[in-house]
Amino acid sequence: MLRTASVALLVTLGALPGGAQSDHARLTLNVVEEETGQPIANATVEVPGVDRPGRTNRNGVWQGERLPAGSRIVRVSRIGYGTGRFAVELAAGSGVERTVALRPAVVEVEGVEATAARRSPTLERRGFYGRQRRGHGAYMTHEVIERLRPMRTVDLFYHMRGFTVLRDRLGHPYLATTRGNPGLGRECAAPLIYLDGTMLSWGPNRFNSRGGGPLESINPESIAAIEAYAGAATIPDEYRQPGAVCGVVLIWTKTGDEG
């Protein structure tokens, strides 16, 4: 269940640089988090008349070229945020630019607040449900993981509020927070990763000889739950280490008593 959160739309309209007139229009969106102004990467942009949804880049920007002119209702969404919808008039041969601010929303996984018999005893002992109720981070259970059917564990972080997946110049994927860190620049790309309560001994964004990071060794089918904290102030006290300025990711695997 997703508790609906209000969405603020900060609108800036104006013609973009001209060029030759055509029957098509251009639309540029800057998608940011309402509370912090940080760009939101991997947000989905849906424009009627366009076959495929687009996604914002690492800077929270999406650009649509050669869009059909006319009145459109544009939808912007990302898991963990309220959905933005707004009307725009796209004139042939010109462009429009808008800034869309999405407000973080609390994501509750359907069935988590069910009877104790349906809960995982292991996750109960590990304190997962208590932290999820407090709602300071982003949470994902194996039911959601099964619906997403990721090929790799790292792919799950395309859907985790406060996190995204980027690639280095060699094409290796690595985790980064979407909120950034004032002392480290806009991107914060080294969250600490814990597996079943133990911090991985090698850096979260270092790679082995085949280019795989620490998440590559974790089979997504073995995961019972993930909890991720992008901001240092949201990290649970027991995981608040000196190197956690870029956040903490806790991955819990299934065990024999996971039903």
**Is 70 exceeded by the pLDDT of residue 85?**
yes
Give me the number of domains the chain comprises: 2
Which helix (H) or strand (E) segment is 142 a member of?
helix 142-148
Flag whether 1 is in a domain. Answer: no
Give residue 66's pLDDT.
Answer: 87
- What does the pLDDT average to over 69-92? 87
Instruction: Find, among 74, 64, 57, 53, the residue nearest to 16 by Cα.
Output: 64
* Confidence bin at 222 (pLDDT 50/70/90): very high
214 and 124 in a common domain: yes
129 and 98 in a common domain: no
**Is 80 exceeded by the pLDDT of residue 257?**
no
* Confidence bin at 21 (pLDDT 50/70/90): low
Enter the pTM of the model: 0.56
Give residue 108's pLDDT.
Answer: 45
228 and 145 in a common domain: yes
200 and 171 in a common domain: yes
pLDDT 10s digits, 177-194? 876 554 444 557 678 899
Q: Residue 183 is part of which domain span?
A: 116-253
**Higher-confidence residue: 17 or 146?**
146
231 and 173 in a common domain: yes
pLDDT 10s digits, 46-59? 998 887 889 999 88
Give residue 215's pLDDT.
Answer: 82
In angstroms, how far is CA 161 from the centroid of its own chain? 4
Give residue 229's pLDDT.
Answer: 92
* Confidence bin at 255 (pLDDT 50/70/90): confident
65 and 126 in a common domain: no
Flag whether 44 is in a domain. Answer: yes
- Final residue before a domain boundary, out of 102, 124, 147: 102
Q: What is the CATH number for 86?
A: 2.60.40.1120
* Confidence bin at 208 (pLDDT 50/70/90): very low
128 and 94 in a common domain: no
Flag whether 145 is in a domain. Answer: yes
**Higher-confidence residue: 246 or 113?**
246
Flag whether 83 is in a domain. Answer: yes
Provide the percentage of residues in the chain whose pLDDT is more than 90.
20
123 and 68 in a common domain: no
Q: What is the CATH number for 151?
A: 2.170.130.10
- What does the pLDDT average to over 86-112? 76
Provide the percentage of residues in the chain whose pLDDT is more than 70.
75
CB burial string 58-87: b at 16+ within 10 A, e below:
bebebebeebebeebebebbbbbbbbbeee
Residue 47's Cβ-side half-sphere holds a number of Cα atoms within 13 Å equal to 23
Q: DSSP assignment, residue 23? A: S
**Higher-confidence residue: 100 or 174?**
100
Q: DSSP assignment, residue 172? A: -
**Is 80 exceeded by the pLDDT of residue 13?**
no
Among the residue ranges 34-38, 86-90, 177-181, 192-196, the one predicted with the least confidence is 177-181
236 and 143 in a common domain: yes
